A and B are shown apart, each in its own frame.
Chain A
Amino acid sequence: MRNHIVKFILLISISVALGICSRFIGLSSHQALAVAIFAVSILGTLFFWDFRLSFAFIGTSILLFTRTIDLENAIRFSSLEIILFLVGMMVLIGLLKDAGLFAWLVSLILRIRNLTAKKFLIAIAIISALLACAVDEVTSIVFMVAAILEICDYFEVDPVPFIIGSVLTTNIGSSGTVLGNPIGILIAAKSGLSFEDFIVKAFPLMLICLAVTIFILVIWYRKALTQLDRRIKELGSNEILIRLISVPAERQLMVCLAIFGATLFFISLHHRLELILGLETNTVLLIVPLISSGAVMAWKWRKAREYIEKDVEWWTLIFFLFLFIQAGTLKYTGATDVFAKRLLEVVKHNPTALTGMVLWMSTIGSSILDNVVLVAAFVPIVQSLKELGFALQPLWWALLFGGCFGGNITMVGSTANIVALGILEKERNIRMTFFEWFWIGLTVGLITTVIVWLALLFLPFYR
């Protein structure tokens, strides 16, 4: 209890201090209030995870009550299009789970023939990254951890190196497409970047970082790999694992796969369809999951309510909605314009230094904070830089990669880390220490961020 009181006092003191400091650097009272309220949401997420929605509700109400923002603009900044996109994707993922698709993927991993330790590590790294691209990182990490625990149990080896490997590559993979991480769709919606832009520019860079990470993992965990190889030789092939679970190859699973495949197909073509149909940028991207989930709910009408009530993470989405309003208020009051100007003064109006600064700030920031909170704060600042005549593309990519890769540095850096470590603790009673994660996380986090930095600096492609 005392700990909570100290944290609460700290939260209020820092937020008030930020508000007062903002006044001193020339911000108006409304701008300073917007800064202080946004700080409460950030610190509330950090210190009081279970109460973050409560802070978001009260904070946004204060902004409306004090006329820091009006209702019309609050609704405009709530980015309902992003929330609806995520709702559609979550319904679709719920259907896939219900049909047994993820269990089928687990069974495929369990059935790897002529298993060797290196083959296993490389396979889980690649599958983790690609699945995080196709679904979201939190969904994919659950069944990756399930498969890893079954295999490590069977061969009686420590699952920790493989779980860490899977989580690190999941976070890296989540930067490859718009679908991998909520910050992907947030950046796409705010920047106008299309799915195709992500595939052409983010995906190849993600693959390079993935390859480097696999190389690091193979060296870092060479002892664990030797031990697994020894156990594989002792126990023979994974015959029992091959037969362990089955998913009836029903028509339903095939139909679900077809719906998901069609969704991915139309999402990948959204930019071209928008051009052909003369629609606003990203309209098709945002409505495709809604059409698919609408079709799913018509098909499975008896379960439609369940998909909406249980599979949609309302707790998280409503927090995002209020967070976007608060970040929008920073823009609406002009606070972000002031921050953008100050940022330019710090980097002496040098675009290269600015890109590096945004990349490293988002990397370090998202190693401690929820990356959505961080990116939501940066988006209006980056938008303000456009008005000052800066090319924004490298900054959007810096935000995306920093937000995703920074999550690898600490064990609380991303939701995927927290989910995987939670399962590990519950299932195997293994409580990872901060440094057990930190050294490998820091190594991978720093090296992959440096790769992205070099690409953003030297490849004109990203400008």
Chain B
Amino acid sequence: MKVKEIMTKEIVSVKPEDNAKEALGLLFKMRISGLPVIDSKGKLVGMFTEKDVLRHILPSYLEKVGRFVYEENPKSIKKKFQDLVNLSVAKLMRREVVTIDENTTLCEAARLMLTQKLRRAPVLNKEGKMVGIVARGDVLKALTGEYSV
């Protein structure tokens, strides 16, 4: 079985110039943690995820400062949330995206998801155009279906 047989073909995506707050609202509405970002030429240019938003609102030096507990919410978080309205998706999205070819085997897709710590991956055709998206759960479900006795 190949990835193209199990992928979700109806792609919901956002554009790089979209408003970050609205894109976050779309994530909540669809109850998913990330969306592909596709430009006006139909090219995949990044992924916009909940993790990217969290990375934006929390201080970048968190890990360098070491272990501590927030007992109150810092003022900067409120300000950064308010700033989301003025930010485009392109400002927050992750540009290095691991993609999967539509003819990839399930086992290879599973290997990529495990080694690259992916929850989902955009699927590209031979021309490099995004044709679907495959989630870790989709791969596991398909493998379970194929190998369960």
Contacts and interface: CB of A to CB of B under 8 A. Distances in A.
Contacts of B72: 240, 243-244
B68 A146 contact: no
Interface stretch (B9-17, B30-38, B57-65): B57-65
Interface residues of A, number: 30
Interface in B46-78: 59-61, 64-72, 74-76
A103 B66 contact: yes
Interface in B63-111: 64-72, 74-76, 79
Interface stretch (A36-44, A149-157, A323-331, A407-415): A149-157
Given A99-B67, A153-B79, A423-B61, 17 more contacts: A97-B64, A97-B67, A100-B66, A100-B68, A103-B67, A106-B65, A142-B61, A143-B64, A154-B74, A240-B72, A244-B71, A245-B70, A246-B69, A246-B71, A426-B60, A427-B60, A427-B76
A247 B69 contact: yes
Nearest to A138: B64
Interface string A243-256: 11111100000000
A245 B66 contact: no
Given A154-B75, A240-B72, A244-B72, A149 B59 contact: yes
Contact of B74 (A97, A156, A244): A244
A248 B74 CA distance: 19
23 contacts: A97-B64, A100-B66, A101-B66, A102-B65, A103-B65, A103-B67, A106-B65, A106-B68, A143-B61, A143-B65, A146-B59, A153-B74, A154-B75, A156-B75, A243-B71, A243-B72, A244-B70, A244-B71, A245-B70, A246-B71, A247-B67, A427-B60, A427-B76
Interface in A192-247: 240, 243-247
Secondary structure call for the B interface: loop
Nearest to B68: A103
Nearest to B62: A146
The A interface, classified by DSSP as helix, strand, loop or mixed, is helix
A154 B74 CA distance: 8
Given A423-B60, A427-B60, A150 B74 contact: yes
B70 to A, nearest CB: 6
B93 to A, nearest CB: 16
A101 B66 CA distance: 8
A98 interface: yes
The 8 closest A-B pairs by CB, nearest first: A103-B68, A97-B66, A100-B67, A153-B76, A142-B64, A245-B68, A426-B60, A153-B75
Interface in A329-365: none
A146 B71 contact: no
